[in-house]
Amino acid sequence: MHKSQLSTFVLDCRVEDIDAATRFWSQALGRAIAPTEPDSENYRVLSADAQEPMLLVQKVDHPSRIHLDIETDDLEAEVARLEALGAKRIEFVQRWWVMEAPTGQRFCVVNPQRGPLRERAHEW
């Protein structure tokens, strides 16, 4: 068992299926998909606790982009969990993994950045 959490924002996804992109990020980050507004065909919102930033998944025509970090107390376990969801390892840099989501975004899996992960983190 290990813990991890998002330390960050808008995920621009150059995809045909915004719902598949949203399902990946929902599962990767342990956040529920909020109900979709009728006039929001290109946007999906993932739920967030009050102390965490809101996370928005957006369908775009330009290349997918954003950088976010997922902090964890067990780097290898978290990387393996994300690989099982469809992410792939790109490169190990110093103390963290650069990974790529099935939607094309690069992100990092890092050790805790703000001290030990406590109740604010997801337990897997």
Give the start-to-end residue ranges of the domains of the chain: 6-118
Structure tokens that stand for 118 in this block:
């406590």
CATH for 6-118, options being 3.10.180.10, 3.40.47.10, 3.40.640.10, 3.40.50.1950: 3.10.180.10
User: Structure pTM?
Assistant: 0.69
pLDDT score, position 56: 86
The residue among 82, 72, 66, 68 whose CA lies nearest residue 5 is 72
Q: What are phi and psi of 75, to 5 degrees?
A: -55, -50
Please measure the distance between the N-terminal and C-terminal CA atoms of the chain and give it in whole angstroms: 6
**pLDDT digits over 19-38, tens only?**
999 999 999 999 999 988 77
**CA of 116: how far to CAs of 26, 73, 79, 110, 123, in Å?**
23, 8, 18, 13, 13
